[in-house]
Each structure stands twice: as C-alpha cells, then as structure tokens.
C-alpha cells in the first residue's frame, strides 16, 4: 500500500503537462519544418508527376535469340569498360575487385547485368599485349548469367580489315583512337556489320557527311557511345524542359575543368610498347607516314592527326547531354578562342579555350569553357527566365528571384526548388578525373531503385535494337549534329574567325 500525501503523490505526474503540450503541438511544428526544408515543389512547378520516374529497363530476353558475335577494335582505355558492359571481364579485374572472397560493388553490379547472350569472337588492337588481354576477357567464365563455362577464346586479327572480312562478326565495337573511327565504321557498315562507335564520330565534316550516308544506306544498327543518354538525371531534365519548367531558355553553359596530368592527356607510356609489339602502320591508318613515337601512340589525344582536340575529347560529352535535354541540333555559327598557354610538352590541343555556339532561332547561346589548369567544378547550367537548372549526376532547379512565375514558392534563393539526388553510392570513386566524370553524370545511374552502369544500358540498347527491340538513342543523326558542332569550334579556334554552318550544302563557312 502507498501512504503518500496527495501533494507528494502528484509529483510523479510533474512532467505530464509538458508532455501534453508537446502532444498537442508537435505535429504542427514538424509539418512547418518540413515545408521549410522540402526540395520538391513539383506541384508548384505545375507538374503533377514525371513520367520518366516510372521508367523500367526493358527485358532483353536474350536467350530467345541466337547469340550475336561481337568483334572489338581497340582494347586500351575504354575497351575493357565496354567489354564488361557486354559481360566480358578480364580475370585480373575480377580478382582485383574481390576482397576476402567477396565481390565488391563493381563486380556485383557487373554480375547483376542481364546476360545478353553474346559471343566475343574477334579482337584487334595495334598493341599485341592489349589484344591478348582482351582474349583473356573473352574466355572468363565469371560473367552475368554464368552457370558453367564453355566460352571459346576470341580470335586475334592482325588487322581490322581482316576481322571485318572474316565472316565471324555480326557486330563491332570501335573504341580506337579518333582518327580511325570513320574508316572503321564505314568498312563495317559496308559489310553489313552493326556498329557501336565511341565518340567523337569523325575527324572532319566531310567524313561525317559520308559516314551518315553509308550508315543510312546500309541499314545496320548504329549507336554512338554516349551513355549519358541512359542517365536518369538527363532524362528527367529532358522532361522538365519539355514541360517548360525553366521558361524561356537564353543560355546553356558547359565546362571542362581539370588540373592533373591524366586530365591533360599526359598518361603513362607502357615500356613494353615497341615497334615489335605495336603495329605502328595499322595505327597510323590513313594519316601520312611518320616514325614510331610512343608518346604519340599512348597520348594520341594531344596530337591533331589522331585526336580531335579538347572539343572532340571533352565537349562532345556535354554537347550530347544538352542535345539530349534540349534537342539542340547544329548551331548557326560558332566562335572560339584559346590556345596552349600552360603546357610546354609536345601538343597541338589548347589548354585554355572558350567557345560560343549561336542558336538565334532558339533564342539562346551554348557556351563551352575548358581549362586544364583548374579543377574547380562547375556544373552544366541551363539558364531560363523563370528558373535555372544545374544538371549532372544530380539535378537542381533554382527559381529566378525576379521571375513572377514562382512567387508562390518562398525559399532561400540558394536552395533548389526541385532536386534529384540519386543514391550516394552512385558516386563511389576517388581520382579527380573519375570523380568529375561521375559528378558530370556519367558512370552509374539509379533506375527502379537499383544502381546500374549507364554504359551497360547504352550497349544493351544497341544489342536489343540489333534484335529488333527498340532503337538506339544516340543514332547517326545525333552523332552528325555533334560532330559538325565540335568541328565548327575547332575550325574557329584554328582560323581565329567566326564560322557559320551552311545547312543546305552542309559546309562550314568562314566569316
């Protein structure tokens, strides 16, 4: 029995009135706080939903089709990535990415890919060691959908032409230095072989006109390697633009900011690369003969006879993102300035450059700024009269402080009114160049709440299209628009003059 006095007895209830106050008021406070910090104003933007958020990756059902025989041209920097996207990983890559018997996230993502029912039957690379390395990938039994082995080694061809003529290839992946792209894609298309071509498509406007003709008349399935086409943030951006969230767009800004040797195309020279192990003549392709030069071989991006400048190597990425979102097409005129001011090593390409692409009928300009001496990250930005959009791996929309359209939304102007922020694990990289790559919205994306490699999706789209399912998103017309646009900038830079596009005769005209 308790023998408390009444006053003492009530002491046990001392905090209950405060709990009562809390109970009556907390919900209102939570809702007020949430209203202040919310970053999704879709309703206020006049959008009830985004269709693209319901996007599902189409099933390939590859088992129902006969295997496609794949040939690979070029197994250097990009080749192994493309092979993995198709389900062929080098055994060393698997070992390096397996920790204490457990595959890391990269390998898990690889194994989660759908088995596309492919055979890697042919390989050619002008550096014999790289070709041999690709063969090891072709027979690796660890791959998506693997139950047992039976993979046959891919054949190494001494030249690309031999591989195309072999009759053993249905589709080819071309990820060689830029100067070989047109010649190789043309040869494949003429032989009726489907083409996945890494960007940029060609070295000149004339080549682009000719290649487009060949591809269209051949009827093959052509995909240009721009995996941003598969990235959710760009697809969301495209829908937001279509729904006119930004109002009248007046300017589009794109950037390359790099500040390391790798980013400036000063890359390691493999000592094993000698005239004995490198087929220098095949590497030169149609370019005039010159003596063997390992720097030019391993760092071809810096030299005009092989590479396509910072515009071909870098701007093409951002152009295609913006072309995907805004359907830019070819600009009416282009002016570019810059030069090689910082790097003293042999190089033909600028390390500082600005280009302006003029679209008078659309009411906007597109700009591209490139510096190889600053790593300050600047996101691609689309400036509209009512709001601006920063887009890369994430997407943010900021309202324009003087626009009358979104006055209902009261928010700190530095905070986005719409924000797409995918899973943080999408960004799981360390090196500066790789980190900028992911931030810019390449690499991985999030679909159906799953992390997926965009290169895999892009190549799968191509494979599906070969089997008659869907169509490639970066087809020859998109490739043509991009090629002409970046080459106009290169001409302007070289000639120090404005260049216009004669759309009727499909020619660049110096002003």
Nearer to another protein, 38 or 281 (CB): 38
Nearer to another protein, 66 or 425 (CB): 425
Q: How many residues does the chain have?
A: 511
How many alpha carbons lie under 13 Å from residue 233 in its C-beta half-sphere?
A: 31
Smallest distance from the beta carbon of 231 to another protein, in angstroms? 20
Reduced DSSP (H G I as helix, E B as strand, rest coil) percent helix, strand, coil of the chain, to 5: 40, 20, 40
Closest CA to 58 of 462, 476, 477: 462
Of residues 43, 423, 448, 502, which one binds another protein by CB under 8 A?
423
Element spanning 365, H or E: strand 364-371
Nearer to another protein, 159 or 431 (CB): 431
End-to-end CA distance of the chain: 104
Nearer to another protein, 26 or 262 (CB): 26
Q: Residue 315 has what DSSP assignment?
A: I
Smallest distance from the beta carbon of 211 to another protein, in angstroms? 44
Contact 487, 355 (CB under 8 A): no
Interface segment toward another protein; rule CB under 8 A; list 6-14, 234-242, 392-400, 468-476? 6-14
Number of Cβ atoms within 10 Å of the Cβ of 511: 10
- CA dist 61 and 79 (Å) reads 25
* Residue 3 binds to another protein (criterion: CB under 8 A): yes
Nearer to another protein, 20 or 470 (CB): 20
Binders of another protein among residues 16 to 35 (CB under 8 A) are 16, 18-19, 22, 26-27, 30-31, 33-34
Nearer to another protein, 3 or 147 (CB): 3
Nearer to another protein, 17 or 413 (CB): 17
Smallest distance from the beta carbon of 393 to another protein, in angstroms? 14
Size of residue set near another protein by CB under 8 A: 22
What are the tokens at 358? 């003029």
Of residues 5, 14, 24, 402, which one binds another protein by CB under 8 A?
14
Contact 326, 241 (CB under 8 A): yes
Smallest distance from the beta carbon of 332 to another protein, in angstroms? 43
**Regarding beta strands 352-359 and 364-371, do their DSSP bridges make them parallel or antiparallel, or are they unpaired?**
antiparallel
Smallest distance from the beta carbon of 15 to another protein, in angstroms? 5
Nearer to another protein, 104 or 290 (CB): 104
Of residues 51, 96, 105, 112, which one binds another protein by CB under 8 A?
105
What are the tokens at 242? 């279509």
Closest CA to 196 of 165, 227, 157: 227
Interface segment toward another protein; rule CB under 8 A; list 10-18, 198-206, 400-408, 475-483? 10-18
Residue 11, preceding bond cis, omega within 30 degrees? no
Smallest distance from the beta carbon of 31 to another protein, in angstroms? 7
DSSP letters along 41-79, please? -TTTTT-S--GGGG--PPP--GGGSPPEEEEEE--SSSH
Of residues 342, 425, 496, 497, which one binds another protein by CB under 8 A?
425
Nearer to another protein, 30 or 165 (CB): 30
Smallest distance from the beta carbon of 287 to another protein, in angstroms? 46
Nearest 10 degrees: CA dihedral of 113, 116, 120, 123? -70
Smallest distance from the beta carbon of 21 to another protein, in angstroms? 10
Contact 259, 432 (CB under 8 A): yes
What are the tokens at 441? 């919205």
* Chain centroid offset of residue 389 CA: 19
Smallest distance from the beta carbon of 451 to another protein, in angstroms? 9
Q: What are phi and psi of 266, to 5 degrees?
A: -110, 95
Going residue by residue from 383 to 422, which x/- string records binding to another protein, judged by CB under 8 A? ----------------------------------------
Nearer to another protein, 204 or 435 (CB): 435
Nearer to another protein, 9 or 77 (CB): 9
* Residue 12 binds to another protein (criterion: CB under 8 A): yes
Smallest distance from the beta carbon of 424 to another protein, in angstroms? 5
Smallest distance from the beta carbon of 87 to another protein, in angstroms? 22
**Regarding beta strands 68-73 and 171-174, do their DSSP bridges make them parallel or antiparallel, or are they unpaired?**
parallel
What are the tokens at 482? 């991009």
Contact 153, 178 (CB under 8 A): no
Residue 287 contacts by C-beta under 8 Å, 6 or more apart in sequence?
A: 179, 305, 306
Of residues 5, 6, 7, 11, which one binds another protein by CB under 8 A?
11
Residue 9 contacts by C-beta under 8 Å, 6 or more apart in sequence?
A: 2
Of residues 5, 6, 7, 15, which one binds another protein by CB under 8 A?
15
Smallest distance from the beta carbon of 108 to another protein, in angstroms? 9
Binders of another protein among residues 239 to 268 (CB under 8 A) are none
Nearer to another protein, 39 or 500 (CB): 39
Supply angle C-alpha 7, 13, 15, rounded to 5.
125
* Interaction site with another protein (CB under 8 A): 2-3, 11-16, 18-19, 22, 26-27, 30-31, 33-34, 38, 105, 423-425
């Amino acid at each position: 029995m308790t023998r408390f006095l009444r006053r003492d007895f009530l002491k046990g209830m001392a905090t209950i009135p405060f709990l009562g106050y809390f109970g009556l008021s907390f919900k209102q406070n939570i809702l007020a706080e949430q209203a202040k910090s919310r970053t999704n104003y879709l309703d206020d933007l006049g959008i009830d939903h985004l269709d693209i958020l319901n996007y599902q990756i189409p099933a390939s059902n590859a088992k129902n089709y006969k295997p496609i025989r794949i040939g690979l041209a070029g197994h250097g920097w990009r080749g192994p990535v493309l092979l993995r996207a198709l389900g062929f990983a080098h055994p060393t890559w698997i070992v390096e990415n397996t920790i204490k018997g457990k595959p890391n996230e990269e390998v898990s993502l690889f194994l989660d890919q759908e088995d596309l029912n492919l055979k890697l039957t042919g390989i050619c690379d002008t550096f014999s060691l790289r070709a041999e390395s690709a063969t090891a990938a072709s027979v690796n039994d660890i791959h998506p959908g693997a139950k047992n082995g039976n993979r046959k080694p891919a054949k190494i061809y001494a030249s690309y032409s031999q591989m195309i003529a072999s009759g053993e290839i249905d589709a080819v992946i071309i990820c060689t230095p830029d100067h070989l792209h047109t010649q190789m894609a043309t040869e494949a298309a003429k032989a009726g072989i489907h083409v996945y071509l890494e960007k940029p498509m060609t070295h000149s406007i004339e080549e682009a006109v000719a290649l487009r003709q060949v591809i269209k008349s051949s009827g093959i399935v052509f995909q240009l390697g721009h995996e941003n086409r598969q990235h959710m943030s760009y697809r969301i951006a495209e829908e937001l633009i279509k729904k006119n969230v930004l109002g009248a767009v007046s300017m589009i800004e794109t950037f390359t900011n790099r500040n390391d040797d790798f980013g400036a195309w000063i890359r390691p020279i493999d000592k094993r690369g000698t005239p004995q192990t490198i087929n220098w003549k095949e590497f030169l392709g149609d370019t005039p003969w010159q003596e063997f030069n390992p720097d030019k071989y391993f760092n071809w991006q810096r030299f005009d006879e092989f590479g396509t400048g910072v515009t071909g190597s870098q701007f093409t990425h951002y152009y295609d993102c913006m072309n995907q979102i805004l359907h830019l097409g070819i600009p009416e005129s282009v002016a570019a300035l810059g030069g090689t001011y910082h790097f003293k090593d042999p190089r033909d390409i600028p390390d500082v450059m600005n280009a302006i692409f003029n679209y008078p009928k659309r009411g906007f300009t597109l700009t591209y700024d490139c510096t190889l001496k600053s790593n300050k990250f600047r996101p691609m930005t689309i400036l509209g009269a009512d709001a601006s959009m920063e887009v890369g791996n994430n997407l943010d929309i900021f309202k324009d402080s003087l626009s009358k359209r979104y006055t209902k939304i009261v928010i700190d102007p530095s905070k986005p009114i719409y924000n797409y922020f995918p899973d943080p694990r999408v960004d799981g990289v360390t090196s500066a160049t790789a980190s900028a790559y992911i931030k810019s919205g390449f690499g991985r994306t999030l679909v159906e709440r799953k992390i997926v490699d965009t290169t895999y999706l892009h190549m799968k789209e191509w494979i599906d299209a070969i089997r008659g399912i869907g169509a490639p998103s970066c087809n020859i017309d998109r490739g043509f628009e991009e090629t002409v646009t970046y080459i106009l900038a290169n001409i302007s830079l070289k000639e120090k003059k404005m260049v216009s596009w004669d759309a009727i005769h499909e020619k660049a005209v110096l002003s």
